[in-house]
Amino acid sequence: MRIAGRNLVHIDVKGGEEERFLRPVLFHIGSYKVYSYGVMLFSAFVACVFVVRYVLKKRGIEPSSAYLIGAVVAVSSLIGARLFYLIGQWDWSDAFNLNTSGMVFYGGLLVGLPVTYGVVKKMKLPAGAVADAIGLSLPLGLAIARVGCFLNGCCYGKPSGLPWAVTFPGTTTPVHPTQLYELILDLAMFAFLLWARKYLTRDWDLFLLSIASYAAIRFFMEFLRAHTESGAGLFFQLLSVAIFIVAVGLLLYRRRKARLARLGL
């Protein structure tokens, strides 16, 4: 399944005369191009590391361990996200280009989770507490990454007649700025998790809630996302439903198990 994406120079906002510029290339260092997408992806990981560090410190866990954990998450999830994209696209000619989109979050999750879990256990840290810290940081990182998507001009939506729809150069059809929609939803999810963490006292619960929340966001976003292959949207919706069911199912199972333990059953 090929996911829509283009490198763009500017967009015209529907209903306005002002031309607003995208920045696929943020700046140059000599002849080397520094891409917005790569910069925002790096910024997302840095922001996540600081959130994880803060949470670990509050939990009485050595905060500096967040740096190694962050490095492991970054490498393993990038590999998984890129592999998932390449397998779906079945075009390996540009496999090592991480500057201009071509990542799938679910691939990063499927590879990053077991790899990070193994490393955390090797470090003799409480895996559940670390997972909750990562889960809290996740929507903030996703929101920052979506800024990179918008600057790069990838992951856009289907045709739209709404006043805030955008028209990409070389086309005449306004589309949903789905990157900005998800940015807003991810930030709302981050605020929700900040509130919910006060009431989730068991390890792993915040992580599971985070994954379930993103799966719900992604499910609804796929109604608006554009893909060059017709089955891609349905595939990601089915995958989102499966992940949501697993995450919520584990939450409910753990809650029931804890209640029975309190009752001595």
Measure the CA–CA gap between 52 and 66, rounded to whole angstroms.
Answer: 6
Cα dist from 133 to 56, 145, 204, whole Å: 7, 19, 9
pLDDT tens over the chain, length 265 residues: 233 333 333 445 444 433 454 677 777 888 888 888 889 999 999 999 999 999 999 999 999 999 999 999 999 999 998 888 877 665 655 655 555 567 889 999 999 999 999 999 999 999 999 999 999 999 999 999 999 988 887 888 999 999 999 876 566 789 999 999 999 999 999 999 999 999 998 999 999 999 999 999 999 999 999 987 788 899 999 999 999 999 999 999 998 888 877 777 6
pTM of the shown model: 0.87
CA 142 from chain centre, in angstroms, equals: 4
Instruction: List CB contacts of 13: < 8 A, sequence separation 6 or more.
Output: 20, 164, 166, 167
8 A C-beta contact, residue 177 and residue 164: yes
**pLDDT tens-digit map of 230-262:** 888 999 999 999 999 999 999 999 988 888 777
At 201, is the secondary structure helix, strand, or coil? coil
**pLDDT tens-digit map of 28-38:** 888 888 888 88
DSSP classification of residue 105: H
Phi, psi of 263 (to 5 degrees): -85, -5
Q: Indicate left, alpha or beta for 3 from its phi (over 0: left) and psi (-120 to 50: alpha).
A: beta
Measure the CA–CA gap between 86 and 90, rounded to whole angstroms.
Answer: 5
